[in-house]
């Protein structure tokens, strides 16, 4: 299969190339795509070198699938042009996520919604992806009424500039800033821009995307998203109120059986998920599984995943794998 990776020189684009290779996606020809300033650079993939082309040039090369990770502006401009040319786009930006005509997909949760007519498919927000993979089996069994989530998100979610800022601050060096405040030895309760209701755009993404992916607007969600000085992945404290009561052993069994989830829950031996353990993994780790003793039918979980992999690159590649398996591309 001829595959284009749009944004191939960025953090997520590089991770997409790694994941395509690791999972042996059937790439017969790679088309690395980036901005004009990167045109002509060489990208290595599985021992072969490929020259970077511009988004417009890639259309003429007719890939079957294009994995976009180059920001909302690029996606808004070029995804429709790729789709018109018959190329299936899996887009990692927020540009198409809440478009009612576009599917928002996490394969383990709602992969069954995909059809051959879906030419632009949205990849959800990283923090939403890891949460809904865990919510799915619990919702099916106990019916979720409300979710309260607080996130602890890696600087890698912002990009290279943020990683550089953290490392510069740690080394006591001055440099370019991605955040309005110091991030080393600090936490910043502000991800993306503030909205009129006092929430940030990141928080509203988690709220709206959860309802869309789960296919259930009755689930009430509230979120607080926070940037912390770590590299390995995003962590989330998730409090879930159900309509029906639950048994903790059954909850652990359901989560253990859920595709893409690993339960790490042994407090007696200090075993619980941490970002450094999720780094480089495709699975979502879940632990600190316990009843909320302040109200009925309510569960507390701690959820961790590598935001560049399951939160972005891996999920996009998994969508492409599912399209291929179903014969939709």
Q: What are the catalytic residues?
A: 126, 234
The answer on whether 270 is annotated among ligand-binding residues is no
Q: Where are the alpha helices (DSSP H) in 146-200?
A: 160-171
Identify the H or E element spanning 284: strand 284-291
111, 133 Cβ separation under 8 angstroms: no
Longest CA pairwise span in the chain (Å): 60
The answer on whether 307 is annotated among ligand-binding residues is yes
The answer on whether 10 is annotated among ligand-binding residues is yes
Other beta carbons less than 10 A from residue 198's beta carbon: 7
The answer on whether 9 is annotated among ligand-binding residues is yes
d(CA 166, CA 256): 35
Place of tokens 């690029």: 74
The answer on whether 146 is annotated among ligand-binding residues is no
The answer on whether 153 is annotated among ligand-binding residues is yes
The answer on whether 315 is annotated among ligand-binding residues is no
66, 301 Cβ separation under 8 angstroms: no
Residue in 192, 229, 227 with CA at minimum distance from that of residue 207: 192
Other beta carbons less than 10 A from residue 260's beta carbon: 21
Tokens of 207: 């709220």
Identify the H or E element spanning 67: strand 65-68
The answer on whether 269 is annotated among ligand-binding residues is no
The answer on whether 37 is annotated among ligand-binding residues is yes
d(CA 183, CA 200): 18
The answer on whether 222 is annotated among ligand-binding residues is no
The vertex-160 CA angle with 156 and 165, nearest 5°, equals 90
Bridge partners of 153? Answer: 227
CA 312 to chain centre: 4
Binding positions for substrate: 153, 227
Binding positions for phosphate: 97
Binding positions for NADP(+): 9-12, 37-38, 307
Binding positions: 9-12, 37-38, 97, 153, 227, 307
């Amino acid at each position: 299969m001829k595959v284009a990776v749009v944004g191939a020189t960025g953090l997520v684009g590089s991770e997409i190339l790694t994941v395509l290779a690791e999972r042996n996606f059937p790439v017969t020809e790679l088309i690395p795509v980036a901005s004009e300033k990167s045109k002509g650079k060489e990208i290595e993939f599985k021992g072969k070198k490929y020259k970077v082309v511009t988004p417009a040039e890639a259309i003429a090369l007719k890939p079957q699938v294009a994995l976009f990770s180059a920001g909302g502006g690029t996606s808004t401009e070029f995804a429709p042009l790729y789709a018109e040319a018959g190329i299936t786009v899996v887009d990692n930006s927020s540009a198409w996520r809440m478009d009612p005509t576009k599917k928002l997909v996490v394969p383990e949760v709602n992969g069954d919604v995909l059809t051959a007519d879906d030419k632009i498919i949205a990849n959800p927000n990283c923090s939403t992806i890891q949460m809904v993979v865990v919510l799915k089996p619990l919702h099916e069994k106990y019916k979720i009424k409300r979710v309260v989530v607080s996130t602890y998100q890696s600087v890698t979610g912002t990009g290279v500039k943020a990683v550089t800022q953290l490392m510069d601050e740690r080394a006591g060096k001055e440099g370019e800033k991605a955040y309005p405040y110091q991030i080393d030895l600090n936490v910043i309760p502000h991800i993306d821009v503030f909205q009129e209701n006092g929430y940030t755009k990141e928080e509203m993404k988690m709220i709206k995307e959860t309802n869309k992916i789960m296919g259930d607007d009755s689930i009430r969600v509230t979120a607080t998203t926070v940037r912390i000085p770590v590299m390995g992945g995003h962590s989330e404290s998730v409090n879930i109120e159900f309509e029906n009561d639950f048994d903790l052993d059954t909850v652990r069994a359901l989560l253990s059986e859920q595709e893409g989830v690993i339960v790490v829950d042994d407090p007696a031996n200090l075993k619980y998920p941490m970002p450094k353990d999720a780094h480089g993994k495709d699975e979502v780790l879940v632990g600190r599984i316990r009843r909320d003793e302040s109200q009925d039918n309510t569960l507390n979980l701690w959820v961790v995943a590598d935001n560049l992999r399951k939160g972005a690159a891996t999920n996009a590649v998994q969508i492409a794998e599912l399209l291929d398996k179903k014969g939709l591309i």
